[in-house]
């Protein structure tokens, strides 16, 4: 990576956290996109200095678009959209449709994400095999991490505004939700 990085964004997806960096040479027209430090797109000698670059992010191939707009003279503004939404709107929506827990287990780091709309469970970028079961108080989604029994418990909060509360239990111990 050279010194022409003009934009950097952190994006949280079900399969992981991604750092997107954009390099723009306003004299050469060069455009380079890095995801987690790895170059994923390069265009050299672009004569049009403004425009859009679209590329996939993550194993779910979320559609990311960086928009380059001229502000004044040779000043540019760079914005990132994910799946057609501004980054902030996308992240706000993600926080409504997913829950994330981060923990250390047997010396290894784990990032577990529940997609509430599909009930898919992801761990460190891999979609897990799960088994759902209805209980007296709601439902439980069971899965294993090595020799550890885990489940995500979904119960009603008793308040219409709060809806359903999701809790992760590993070997019967409740894990605090992460703030991303």
Read out DSSP for 40-99? Answer: EEEE-S-S--SEEEEEEETTTTEEEEEEEEE-STT-EEEEEEETTEEHHHHHHHHHHHEE
Look up the domain containing 40 and give its range: 5-83
Cα separation, 28 vs 47, whole angstroms: 8
Under DSSP, the state recorded for 158 is S
CATH number of the domain bearing residue 148: 2.40.128.180
Do the domain assignments include residue 132? yes
In a shared domain, residues 164 and 103: yes
pLDDT in tens, 105-117: 999 999 999 999 9
Q: How many domains does the chain have?
A: 2
Cα separation, 165 vs 155, whole angstroms: 5
Task: Please give the structure tokens belonging to residue 107.
Answer: 């010396």
In a shared domain, residues 101 and 78: no
pLDDT in tens, 58-97: 988 999 999 999 888 778 899 999 999 999 999 999 888 9
Nearest-CA neighbor of 11 among 68, 78, 89, 74? Answer: 89
**Percentage of residues in the chain having pLDDT higher than 90:** 73
In a shared domain, residues 74 and 112: no
Domain finish residue from 58, 83, 108? 83
pTM: 0.82
Do the domain assignments include residue 180? no
């Amino acid at each position: 990576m050279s010194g022409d990085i003009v934009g950097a964004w952190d994006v949280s997806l079900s399969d992981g956290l991604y750092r997107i960096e954009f390099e723009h040479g306003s004299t050469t027209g060069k455009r380079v996109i890095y995801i987690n430090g790895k170059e994923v797109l390069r265009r050299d000698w672009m004569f049009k200095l403004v425009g859009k670059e679209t590329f996939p992010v993550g194993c779910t191939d979320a559609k990311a678009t960086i928009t380059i707009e001229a502000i004044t003279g040779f000043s540019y503004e760079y914005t990132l959209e994910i799946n057609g939404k501004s980054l902030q709107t996308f992240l706000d929506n993600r926080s409504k449709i997913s829950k994330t827990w981060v923990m250390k287990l047997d010396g290894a780091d784990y990032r577990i994400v529940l997609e509430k709309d599909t009930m898919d469970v992801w761990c460190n970028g891999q979609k897990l095999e799960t088994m759902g079961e209805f209980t007296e108080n709601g439902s439980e989604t069971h899965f294993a991490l090595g020799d550890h029994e885990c489940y995500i418990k979904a119960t009603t909060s008793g308040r219409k505004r709060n809806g359903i509360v999701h809790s992760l239990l590993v070997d019967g111990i409740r894990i605090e939700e992460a703030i991303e």
